[in-house]
Amino acid sequence: MKRVQKNRSKFLTKFLAWFVATWFTIGIIAISISQCSVSDTSDRTNQKRDHVKTQQIELMHKKCAQVPLPKKERLTAKQTLRVHDLIKTHPIEEIRTMFFTKILNGNVCLGQRIYGEDDALFKPIPAISNYVPFLFVRDSILSTRREWLAQLVIYHEYVHYKHWLEGRLGNDTMEQEKIEVVSHEERMDHCKKIWYTEFEAYQKECVLAWELGTAARLAFCSIDQNSHTFPLIEKHIVDTHRWSETCANVWHGLVGSD
Ligand SMILES: [Zn+2]
């Protein structure tokens, strides 16, 4: 009798162990399957969201697409999303709000900077009945991991956009080929406009760079502790600006006059 009881309890223990092990395995399998399907679903949701975003962008930029611009100067959907991200998370509030709305409404268009050596360019492009403001950004700036640099570059061009709105930069004064056919006075006037607007854009860029704690990484933003000015900006403009050669004489007379 004792032996029968012993066998029965041995059988029960074995059965219990098998039961627990089986359900444990079933549990593990069920959890993995559910996790797989969750990640599949979230992948699909992300893809769907990206697709909707791209469609929205295409719609928003319909106005911009009507502006005659070579295809190579157009941004891809991915690059456009990147500019949107940089603008809607920009440290300057009016860029996050007003400027971003203008871009979403197609009142400011985006393009890819492929010429020259500058990281970005603000330029109004002639369309059917008016000039459309364009912000051109180089791909290296869109793909940089130095987010702060991209934000500073965008800020600099935004300052030029405001110059244009205020009439301090004109529609057609920025085309290099035209400079040869205009009078000496017009050329002088244009070079002066470029000088003062560039100086202001760099100055604002440096103030933001100091606020972001990244000024030390831009040589032209070094500060003179006594005068609280940025003494290297003028040299930076003379050394790097695409108008340097044409405007050399005018700028020479303006150095130190800011
Ligand atoms: Zn500039």
User: For 234-245, how does the pLDDT look when each residue is reduced to its tens digit (9 = 90+)?
Assistant: 999 999 998 899
Average pLDDT over residues 11-25: 66
Matching residue, tokens 């456009």: 80
Q: Give the pLDDT of residue 45.
A: 73
Q: Which amino acid is at 206?
A: C
Instruction: Please write the tens of the pLDDT for every residue from 74-91.
Output: 999 999 999 999 999 999
CA of 247 to the centre of ligand 1 (A): 15
Q: Give the pLDDT of residue 11.
A: 61
Average pLDDT over residues 197-222: 96
List all residues 6 or more positions away from 198 whose beta carbon is below 8 Å from its beta carbon: 237, 241
- Look at residue 228 and tell me whether its pLDDT is greater than 70: yes
Q: Look at 138 and 9; give whichever has higher pLDDT.
A: 138
Q: The tokens of 70 are what?
A: 């070579």
Q: Give the pLDDT of residue 36.
A: 45
CA 47 to chain centre: 22
H or E stretch at 110: strand 109-112
- Look at residue 60 and tell me whether its pLDDT is greater than 70: no
CA of 37 to the centre of ligand 1 (A): 51
Q: The tokens of 205 are what?
A: 């860029």
For residues 21, 27, 30, 36, the Cα torsion angle rounded to the nearest 10 degrees is -100
CA of 122 to the centre of ligand 1 (A): 8
CA of 64 to the centre of ligand 1 (A): 22
- Look at residue 64 and tell me whether its pLDDT is greater than 50: yes
- Look at residue 33 and tell me whether its pLDDT is greater than 60: no
Instruction: Flag the least confident range among 55-64, 67-76, 119-128, 149-158.
Output: 55-64
> Cα separations (Å) of 180 from 107, 173, 214, 239?
31, 12, 39, 21
Cβ proximity of 243 and 173 under 8 Å: no
Structure confidence at residue 229 as a pLDDT band (50, 70, 90): very high
Q: Give the pLDDT of residue 212.
A: 96
pLDDT mean across residues, the chain: 85
173, burial (CB in 10 Å: exposed 0-12, middle 13-18, buried 19+): middle
Q: How far is the C-alpha of 162 from the C-alpha of 99, rounded, in Å?
A: 10
Instruction: Flag the least confident range among 8-12, 168-172, 183-187.
Output: 8-12
Q: Give the pLDDT of residue 219.
A: 96
CA of 167 to the centre of ligand 1 (A): 15
CA of 153 to the centre of ligand 1 (A): 9
Structure confidence at residue 35 as a pLDDT band (50, 70, 90): low
Q: How far is the C-alpha of 211 from the C-alpha of 93, rounded, in Å?
A: 14
Q: Look at 78 and 47; give whichever has higher pLDDT.
A: 78
Average pLDDT over residues 164-191: 81
> Cα separations (Å) of 41 from 28, 35, 93?
20, 10, 36
List all residues 6 or more positions away from 204 whose beta carbon is below 8 Å from its beta carbon: 155, 156, 159
- Look at residue 48 and tell me whether its pLDDT is greater than 50: yes
Q: Look at 2 and 123; give whichever has higher pLDDT.
A: 123
Structure confidence at residue 181 as a pLDDT band (50, 70, 90): confident
